[in-house]
Amino acid sequence: MKPKNCLIFGASGQIGRNLIRGLTQKNLKVTAVTRNLHQKGYILKTQANPGYLEIVETNLFNVKKIEELIKKTDVCINLVGILFEKGPNNFINIHERFPSIISNLCDKHKISKFIHLSALGIENAKDSKYAISKLKGEIEVRKNFKNTIILKPSIIYSVDDNFTTMLMGLLNLSPIFPLYYEGKTKFMPLHCADICNLIIDIIENDISNQTIECIGPEELTFKEIIQKLLKLIEKKRFFIPIPIFVANVMASFFQILPKPLITKDQIKLLYYDNIPSGQYKTNLDIGKKFELDFENEVEKYCYMWKETGEYAKKK
């Protein structure tokens, strides 16, 4: 039987926005949860036809309100995640406590499925607080609710991302570009549409109780990603290998900022390859090959970082 209601936490982010469009196009009703309706309402409202989308504002730890939402849903999707900590907005609260609360409620109200987004390449990163918290979150949700599907994606890109768009912005600004670990860390970037299609497949089909590592079609080092972006925006830059102690000094300054460019914890994480661990199935093992090619897809939106902006758009 087709589930009717999907409840999304973290709906205003990159994956959430794309997912709302995909789910509502399939006639599934979505309840999108945000912490700030005034700030995020306008982005959310435009993602679906009226009648298919309800937007609810709540604090993530308002258990009573969250329970009311989970009670009414068939599928719950957790897309809430952070890359840096600020006070109580820390990894333990966001990646461990919050998933634990909602997975317990999913069990209490016997909903059909809980889909939880974790991350790839965190198993070995035992010195990163981000990685530890994501792993502990996985253990919590798996323990609390039987029908949990954990997705562990490599880096996700799209026009709505905070990755290629941020990097192209930086590459535009400066004639030099710093490389940590000589840019050798490996990634398998996947397009946001691919992970959203996988989530929709999981909701519609008989995929349950699994952990799936999600990877794109190509393995690229960080340096290769930057080289591809430079080619796309038609720029040449000098790469400067940065010793880790210098990177850490720079990060100590950055992490004072409200939205740091990079933190010391991210520098630790960057040391580890973002490729399958071999412990779980990947999307390929369940017959879902992601075909969208990094360079082809970024080419569609990179024109804004070229010299002549929209006039550089390929006809």
Q: Which stretch binds ligand NAP (CB under 6 A): 78-86, 238-246, 281-289, 299-307?
A: 78-86
Residues 206-245: x/- map of binding to ligand NAP (CB under 6 A)?
----------------------------------------
Residues 22-41 that bind ligand NAP (CB under 6 A): 34-36, 40
Q: Which residues contact 43 (CB under 8 A, 6 or more apart)?
A: 12, 17
The 3-state DSSP class for residue 117 equals strand
* Residue 13 binds ligand NAP (CB under 6 A): yes
- Nearest approach in angstroms of CB 97 to ligand NAP is 11
Q: Which residues contact 160 (CB under 8 A, 6 or more apart)?
A: 14, 17, 18, 192
Residues 122-151 that bind ligand NAP (CB under 6 A): none
Angstrom distance (rounded) from CA 110 to CA 49: 29
The number of angstroms, rounded, from the C-alpha of 3 to the middle of its chain's C-alpha atoms is: 24
Cβ proximity to ligand NAP: between 20 and 233 the closer is 20
The 3-state DSSP class for residue 182 equals helix
Among 6, 7, 8, 10, binds ligand NAP (CB under 6 A): 10
DSSP string, 195-219: HHHHHHHHHHTT--SEEEEE--S--
CB 133 within 8 A of CB 99: no
* Residue 12 binds ligand NAP (CB under 6 A): yes
Residues 87-106 that bind ligand NAP (CB under 6 A): 89, 94
Cβ proximity to ligand NAP: between 35 and 65 the closer is 35
94 closest CA partner among 143, 57, 145, 59: 59
- Nearest approach in angstroms of CB 104 to ligand NAP is 18
The single-letter DSSP state of residue 93 is I
Cβ proximity to ligand NAP: between 80 and 171 the closer is 80
**How many residues interact with ligand NAP (rule CB under 6 A)?**
23
* Residue 292 binds ligand NAP (CB under 6 A): no
- Nearest approach in angstroms of CB 205 to ligand NAP is 21
Among 66, 80, 122, 167, binds ligand NAP (CB under 6 A): 80
Encoded tokens for 94 = 């966001």
Q: Which stretch binds ligand NAP (CB under 6 A): 48-56, 81-89, 247-255, 262-270?
A: 81-89
Among 7, 14, 228, 301, binds ligand NAP (CB under 6 A): 14
φ, ψ dihedrals at 30, nearest 5°: -120, 135
Cβ proximity to ligand NAP: between 37 and 312 the closer is 37
Sheet with 75-78: strands ordered across: 53-57, 29-34, 5-9, 75-78, 113-117, 148-153, 210-214, 281-282
Q: Which residues contact 313 (CB under 8 A, 6 or more apart)?
A: 303
Judged by the rule CB under 6 A, the positions of this chain that interact with ligand NAP are: 10, 12-16, 34-36, 40, 60, 79-82, 89, 94, 117, 119, 153, 155-156, 163
